[in-house]
Amino acid sequence: MLEKRAFYINGEWVESQGGTDHHVINPSTEEPCATITLGTQADADAAVAAAKAAFPAWMATPVEERIAMVSKLCDIYAERAEELGEAMSLEMGAPISMSKTSQAGAGSWHLQNFIKAAKNFEFNRPLGDHAPGDRIIYEPVGVAALITPWNWPMNQVTLKVGAAAIAGCTMVLKPSEESPLNAVIFTEMMHEAGFPAGVYNMIQGDGAGVGTALSGHQDVDMVSFTGSTRAGTAISKNAADTLKRVHLELGGKGANLIFDDADEKAVKRGVLHMMNNTGQSCNAPSRMLVQRGIYDQAVEEAAAVAEKVTVGPASEEGRHIGPVVNEVQWGKIQALIEKGIEEGAKLVAGGPGRPDGMNRGFYVRPTVFADVNNDMTIAREEIFGPVLSIIPFDTEEEAVQIANDTPYGLTNYVQTQDSNRANRLATQLRSGMVEMNGTSRAAGSPFGGMKQSGNGREGGVWGLEDFLEVKAVSGWAAE
pLDDT tens digits, residue range 278-335?
A: 999 999 999 999 999 999 999 999 999 999 999 999 999 999 999 999 999 999 999 9
**What would the pLDDT profile of 392-423 be if each residue is shown by its tens digit?**
999 999 999 999 999 999 999 999 999 999 99
The span from the CA of 234 to the CA of 403, in Å, is 27
Q: Distance (Å, rounded) from C-alpha 243 to C-alpha 221?
A: 8
374 three-state secondary structure: coil
Q: What is the pLDDT of residues 287-303, one digit of tens each?
A: 999 999 999 999 999 99
* pLDDT classification of 478: cutoffs 50, 70, 90: confident
Residue 3 clears pLDDT 90, i.e. is over it: no
- Given this model, what pLDDT does residue 2 score? 56
DSSP letters, 280-332, are --TT---EEEEEGGGHHHHHHHHHHHHHH--B--TTS-SS-B---S-HHHHHH
14 forms beta bridges with: 7
Q: Report the chain's mean pLDDT, rounded to a whole number.
A: 97
Give 191-217 pLDDT, tens digit per residue: 999 999 999 999 999 999 999 999 999
CA atoms within 13 A on the CB side of 205: 31
User: Is the pLDDT score of 48 beyond 90?
Assistant: yes
From the list 396, 403, 304, 387, the residue with the least C-alpha distance to 345 is: 387
**Neighbouring-strand partners of residue 289:** 257, 391
Helix (H) or strand (E) holding 403: helix 396-404
Report the distance separating Cα 196 and Cα 192, nearest Å: 11
The secondary element (H helix, E strand) that includes residue 269 is helix 266-275
CA dihedral 403, 404, 410, 416 (to 10 degrees): 40
CA distance 415 to 257: 6
Query: SS3 sequence, 147-180?
Result: ECCCCCHHHHHHHHHHHHHHHCCEEEEECCCCCC
d(CA 255, CA 411): 8
Average pLDDT over residues 206-229: 97
For residue 53, pLDDT beyond 90: yes
Q: Which 8-state DSSP code applies to residue 385? A: S
Helices (H) and strands (E) in the chain, counts: 15, 19
The mean per-residue pLDDT over the stretch 459-472 comes to 97
- Give catalytic residue positions: 249, 282
pLDDT in tens, 178-191: 999 999 999 999 99
**Taking CA 247 as the corner, what is the angle to CA 157 and CA 91, rounded to the nearest 5 degrees?**
30
Q: E-strand spans in 44-169?
A: 124-126, 135-140, 143-147
Who contacts 283 (Cβ-Cβ below 8 Å, separation ≥6)?
252, 254, 410, 411, 433, 447
